[in-house]
Structures are given as C-alpha cells and as structure tokens.
C-alpha cells in the first residue's frame, strides 16, 4: 500500500484568509470517486484542524499529482494528506521555508468610566490583557478609552471592569482583525490545548 502527493503551496493575502485547495483537472480525471472523495475530504479536514488543532489560514494548495499502487486505499490517501499538512507546518530551523504563525482575533474596545478609575483601567488593559491604548479623552468627570485588545483576555472583562469602577464603568467591543500572537503567549495557548 503506497500513497504520495505532490502539492504547490502559495501564500494568500490577507494572512487570515480562508485556505483554499484545488485538485489539478488532469489528476482529477485519473481518480476514482472513492479516491477523489478521500483526497477532497481529508484536505478539507486537515486544513480546518491544522497540526496544533487550529484552522490553517493564508494558503492556497494545488494537488498536482497522487502516486499510488493497486493496493492503495482511501485511508492511505487520508493518512498521506494529514502527514503532509503536519510536516508543512513543523518548524525546521535549517530551511525556514514555511513560517507558521498563530493568529488570534483582536477587538476594537471603547471604555467609559469615571475619571478617578482610569489609572487602574489603563494598567489592567496594558499589563494584564495585552491591550494597546490608542486614545484617552476626558469629558467632565468621565473618561473614554479607545484600545485594541485580543479577544481571549477580554473574557469576563465586564465583571472586572464593574469591580474596578464600583459598577459605573462600561465597555463595548467589535471585531477588528486577526493579529499574530507573540511567542510566549502562543506557547501557553498551545499548552492549554494539549
């Protein structure tokens, strides 16, 4: 039993775009329905899971060739695809030909609070929640903060903000974009999923 695939891999923009894959029409003509379904389904699954359990984004794959013998099963084709996807994103310090970056959703955050609590809020945002402050503006005894903050550290933030502001602070957030995660945060996130 034998299966070997030949792919072309290209980067797409933006980096967090949904991955695409294409099976060369010449190859498609040589595949049985079972082989085609195994190849198609395993590519779809492998790209949605990725080697660390997170979806892969920012690439386009073209399957150029599938070598197999008469004993090759659909399971062998699936295993071949999964092995390829895993090896594609495994770190190789010698070649560095493909760089794998963990991305996380980043939110645009607006916070309203009585001015007396702003120091604690700013400290919490930049120190504990990996936030980036873009603007702080005052209107009378109230202050507004505009920041970008990763989504994960914002889980449960409404309770924290109420506690810091004696129940008077409020915030809103909306999705901005996906951003790369720094190495130490990525390691701790991957450790949580293991």
The CA distance from 39 to 35, in Å, is 6
Measured CA to CA in angstroms, residue 41 lies from 74, 110, 157 at distances of 10, 42, 39
Lowest mean pLDDT across 25-34, 63-72, 91-100: 91-100
- 3-class DSSP state of 134: strand
Asked if residues 166 and 104 have their Cβ atoms less than 8 Å apart, the reply is no
HSE (side-chain half, CA atoms, 13 Å) at 30: 12
Domains of the chain with CATH codes = 3-88 (3.30.230.10), 103-193 (3.30.70.240)
The per-residue pLDDT for range 103-137, each reduced to its tens digit, is: 888 999 999 999 999 999 999 999 999 999 999 99
The per-residue pLDDT for range 56-82, each reduced to its tens digit, is: 888 888 999 988 888 888 899 999 888
Does the pTM surpass 0.85? The reply is no
The CA distance from 145 to 125, in Å, is 10
The CA distance from 65 to 39, in Å, is 11
The per-residue pLDDT for range 173-184, each reduced to its tens digit, is: 999 988 888 777
């Amino acid at each position: 039993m034998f299966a070997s695939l030949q792919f072309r891999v290209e980067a797409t923009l933006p980096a967090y775009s949904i991955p695409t894959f294409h099976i060369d029409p010449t190859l498609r003509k040589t595949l049985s329905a079972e082989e085609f379904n195994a190849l198609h389904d395993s590519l779809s699954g492998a790209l949605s899971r990725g080697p660390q359990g997170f979806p892969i984004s920012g690439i386009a794959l073209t399957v150029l060739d599938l070598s197999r013998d008469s004993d090759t099963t659909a399971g062998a084709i699936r295993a071949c695809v999964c092995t390829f996807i895993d090896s594609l994103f495994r770190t190789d310090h010698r070649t560095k030909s493909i760089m794998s970056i963990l991305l996380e959703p980043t939110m645009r955050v607006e916070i309203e609070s009585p001015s007396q609590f702003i120091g604690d809020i700013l400290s919490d945002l930049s120190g504990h929640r990996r936030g980036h402050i873009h603007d702080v503006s005052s209107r009378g005894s109230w202050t507004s903060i505009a920041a970008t903050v990763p989504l994960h550290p914002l889980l449960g933030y409404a309770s924290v903000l109420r506690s810091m502001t004696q129940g008077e602070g409020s915030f809103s957030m909306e999705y901005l974009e996906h951003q790369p995660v720094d190495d130490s945060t990525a390691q701790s996130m991957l450790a949580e999923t293991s």
